[in-house]
Amino acid sequence: MNRQRLQRLVRLAGLAFLAAAIVREVRRPRAEREWHGRIAGVVPYELRPPTLDRIRERWWNPADERLFTEHVFGLGWSVNLARVVRLLRH
């Protein structure tokens, strides 16, 4: 598989997961919509508007041992930069 086809496949998979997340939320009663969760129990999605607290929690959280955290907005994962710094120092 060439690189261009792989990129297209990854893009299509991302759009399919995003569509699944939106459909999942819209099918819920309005009062029960959370706009965040996981698709297939694996891929995280976050469709609420970003907040400073969430940005800090996901991008710079020294208390969190995880290297990868859920995106602040969108589908997938972000990098906990505090964890990266800690790993580089050791």
Q: Return the H-helix or E-strand segment holding 46.
A: strand 43-46
Render each residue's pLDDT in the chain as its tens digit; 90 residues: 799 999 999 999 999 999 999 999 999 999 999 999 999 999 999 999 999 999 999 999 999 999 999 999 999 999 999 999 999 998
> CA–CA separation, 79 vs 75, rounded Å?
13
- What are the backbone dihedrals phi and psi of residue 48, each rounded to the nearest 5 degrees, phi first? -80, 150
What is residue 35's predicted lDDT score, i.e. its pLDDT?
A: 98
What is residue 90's predicted lDDT score, i.e. its pLDDT?
A: 84
What is residue 24's predicted lDDT score, i.e. its pLDDT?
A: 97
Nearest by Cα to 74 from 50, 57, 41: 50
Name residues whose C-beta falls within 8 Å of residue 42's C-beta, 6 or more positions apart in sequence.
Answer: none
